[in-house]
Amino acid sequence: MKKILQSLFVVMLMPFMHAQIYNFSLLSSPYVALTASTSVTNGTVWTSWSGISATANIGFNFVANGNLNTNALHFDTNFVPTVVFSNQPNPNTGFIFAPIIADTADRGFVSGTSQSNISYKTEGNVGSRIFKLEWSNMGFYNEIISDNVSSDFINIQLWLYEGSNIIEYRFGASNISNPAQSFDGDPGFGCGLYPQFDFNTGEIIGSAYALSGNGSSPTFAYTPNYEVYVTSAPASGTVYRFAPSALSTNETNTSTAAEIFPTIVDDSFNIKPRSGSKIKSVTVFDMSGRMIINTKKTDRISMSGVAKGIYNVVVETDSGNTSSRIIKR
């Protein structure tokens, strides 16, 4: 997977100059297909070897790896056989989101009629909006050209959260009955965040946030060994969440979905959702990315028994997400 341009189906943001630590958590939420969304493919039969060019205004500025992105982002594959999501066409290097690294294709490749739409939309209230990008009913190129049929498929969404700058990969229905063929002999597909990718050489620079093992319970690591694989399709409703470990000075949390207080904690802290919002979950991570607490409680969160230190709190509400750092003393 070192030269991954020829097998990469990614979403990419650039430029990014400063390191950012991401914490990983495995969540579950029903997969809901996008409706009333804007199509990128517009009925065109596509493959990961054919170019798709479009521009998407996500509606808000998104911060990844420590730098602010423009809100005008481009799909552009004129220079590589892949779909790229960036804030400028034809970048040299960049940070890429990779829900799946595999040779993918429209399931209508044989018939000539598209069956695999790629679309996006932005939902929510100002300050806590979510940009959603969906690969619907996506097939696998090697299976299609080998057998002239498309039995294997997967549904994936990428969510980007305004304010909290959380990244999520959401998995829907899938069928991978012929993995050796669909994954071109690899033991599975690549998945993760790649902070530095060189589009001229087709190589990953430095370490990556890579997932490996069973798709429904993967192992997460920040590692220079990015040639690892998710070996099975995640169950429908599986959510891979990547949360920034802390909000830097240019990552001010502007979400008003909920208030987290106090930020210096003895035994507990409080969650106050904004008027009309309901808390769906509260998750606390230590600085290594390990999940310490995950609860649906709606007011006071106990830190009793938790070691002293710095922690990251992510609050999910029905109107958006909020994240904050707290100190347990």
pLDDT given at position 237: 97
The rounded distance, in Å, linking the Cα atoms of 307 and 329 is 8
Neighbour tally for 301: CB within 10 Å: 19
Average pLDDT over residues 213-222: 91
- CA-to-CA dists, residue 225 to 114, 208, 222, 310, angstroms: 37, 8, 9, 28
Q: What is the pLDDT of residues 120-165, one digit of tens each?
A: 999 998 888 999 999 999 999 999 988 888 999 999 999 988 888 8
Burial class (CB within 10 angstroms; exposed 0-12, middle 13-18, buried 19+) of 266: exposed
In the structure encoding, which two tokens stand for residue 277, read together?
């919002």
The CATH number of the structural domain formed by 258-328 is: 2.60.40.1930
| Region class of 195: left (phi > 0), else alpha (psi between -120 and 50), else beta | alpha
The rounded distance, in Å, linking the Cα atoms of 328 and 266 is 6
Q: What is the pLDDT of residues 66-115, one digit of tens each?
A: 554 555 555 544 333 344 445 555 566 667 788 988 888 899 999 999 99
Do you know the residue count of the chain?
329
Average pLDDT over residues 239-255: 59
Q: Categorize the per-residue pLDDT at 30 as very low, low, confident or very high, splitting at 50, 70 and 90.
A: very high
Q: What is the pLDDT of residues 261-306, one digit of tens each?
A: 888 898 999 988 877 778 888 888 776 556 788 888 767 899 988 9
pTM: 0.71
pLDDT at 212 over 80: yes
pLDDT given at position 246: 52
User: Do residues 141 and 100 lie in contact, with contact meaning Cβ atoms separated by under 8 Å?
Assistant: no
Burial class (CB within 10 angstroms; exposed 0-12, middle 13-18, buried 19+) of 296: exposed
User: Do residues 285 and 303 lie in contact, with contact meaning Cβ atoms separated by under 8 Å?
Assistant: no
DSSP 262-327: -SEESSEEEEEEPTT--EEEEEEEETTS-EEEEE--SSEEE-TTPPSEEEEEEEEETTEEEEEEEE
Helix (H, G, I), strand (E, B) or coil at 154: strand
Q: Categorize the per-residue pLDDT at 53 as very low, low, confident or very high, splitting at 50, 70 and 90.
A: low
The rounded distance, in Å, linking the Cα atoms of 268 and 14 is 39
- Smallest CA-to-CA distance from 246 within 192, 292, 314 is with 314
Query: Which carries the bigger pLDDT value, residue 60 or residue 19?
Result: 60
pLDDT at 250 over 60: no
DSSP 2-55: -S-GGG-EEEEE----S---EEEEEEE-------SPEESSTT---BTTS---EE
Q: Categorize the per-residue pLDDT at 6 as very low, low, confident or very high, splitting at 50, 70 and 90.
A: very low
Q: Categorize the per-residue pLDDT at 316 as very low, low, confident or very high, splitting at 50, 70 and 90.
A: confident
Query: Which carries the bigger pLDDT value, residue 190 or residue 67?
Result: 190
Average pLDDT, the chain: 79
Contacts of 41 (CB under 8 A, 6+ apart): 52, 106, 114, 116, 117, 118, 119
- The residues spanned by each domain of the chain are 22-244, 258-328
pLDDT at 207 over 60: yes
The rounded distance, in Å, linking the Cα atoms of 24 and 167 is 10
Angle at 146 between CA 145 and CA 151, to 5 degrees: 85
